[in-house]
Structure 1
Amino acid sequence: MQIVIFTLGNERYALETDIVHGIEKMMGITKVPTAPYYVKGLANLRGSIITIIDLKAFMNIEEQGQEENIIVVEIDDEKAGFIVDGVEEVVEISDDMIENVDNDNEYVKGVINFNEYIVTLLKGETLVLR
C-alpha cells in the first residue's frame, strides 16, 4: 500500500493514498457558525464545497508550525480537507510494517517504524465519517 506522510507540529502522520483525492495549498476558508471546534469551515475546491478539518485541533496537538497544505480525502462520496503543516512524501509500505498500538484509539491504525523516525498511520475513514 502507499501512504502519504505529513506533519502536524513536530510529529509525522500518514494516511493511505487510496482515500487521498489531492493535496492543495492553503486556500480561502469560510467559517461556519456553531460548527464543532475542529471544523475550520468550508472551502470551494474547483466548484465543489468541502468541509475543512483542522487535524491539530481535532487531535489536541499544540499549535506549532505553519499550516501550509490541505489533504483532500474522499470516502463514500464524501469529500473533506485536512489542514496539515506540510506534506513530506508518498511511500510504499507493506502491511507487516504496520505495528498495532495497544490502545482504544479509533483514529489510529498503527505506527510505522522507518528507523530514522516513527509515523502514526491514521484511519482516515473514522476522521471523516464521524
Structure 2
Amino acid sequence: MQVVIFKLKNEQFAVETSKVQTISEAVTVTKVPKAPEYVKGLINLRGTVISLLDINLLLDIEKSENSQQSVIILKLEDELIAVSVDQVDEVLEIDEDIIENTREDTNKPYIKGIINFKDRIVTFIDIDKLIAK
C-alpha cells in the first residue's frame, strides 16, 4: 500500500495515495462569505474550482506559526476536495502489517491506525470519514 505522509504542526499523518489526485504548492484562495469555519475558500486548479478545507480544524490540531505551503487534492467519491498542510514529507510504499490498529480505543473514527516506523509514529487517517464528519 502506498501512502502520502504530511505534516501538521509537529505531527505526521498519512493518507492512502489512491485518494490523492495531486499535490500542489501555494495556491491563491478565494474566500467564500458565510462559509463554515473549516472551509478556507475556493481554489482554481487548472480550470477546476475546488473547495479548500482547513484540515487542522477537522483534526482539532493547532495551526503552526508557519503558513501552510502545500495543498493535497483528494478525490473522494466523485468530488475533488483540497486540504492545506504544513508540508508533504514523502510518498512511501508500506507493508499493511506495520499499521497498528487503534479502532477499539479511540473516539476518533477517522483514525485507521498508527504506522510505527522505528524512528517515528505516523497517524494513518481515513480521509473519507474525516471529511464526512
TM-score band, normalised by shorter chain: over 0.9
How many residues matched? 130
What percent of counterpart residues are identical?
A: 44
- The secondary structure found in structure 2 opposite 1:119 is strand
- The secondary structure found in structure 1 opposite 2:44 is strand
Equivalent residues of 2:58, 2:130 under 8 A apart: no
Q: TM-score, normalised by structure 2?
A: 0.92
Shift of 1:63: 1.8
Q: TM-score, normalised by structure 1?
A: 0.94
Equivalent positions of 1:7-26 (< 5 A) are 7-26=7-26
Which residue of 85, 104, 107 corresponds with 2:107?
A: 104
**Gaps spanning 5+ residues in structure 1: where?**
none
Partner amino acid for 1:55? Answer: I
**Gaps spanning 5+ residues in structure 2: where?**
none
Shift of 1:2: 0.2
Shift of 1:29: 0.7
2:92 matched residue in structure 1:
91
Partner amino acid for 2:46? Answer: R
- The secondary structure found in structure 2 opposite 1:14 is strand
Point out 4+ residue stretches in structure 1 off by more than 4 angstroms: none
Deviations 1:49-93 (A, max 9, x none): 111011112222112133110000001111001100001111111
Shift of 1:47: 0.7
Q: CA RMSD in A?
A: 1.2
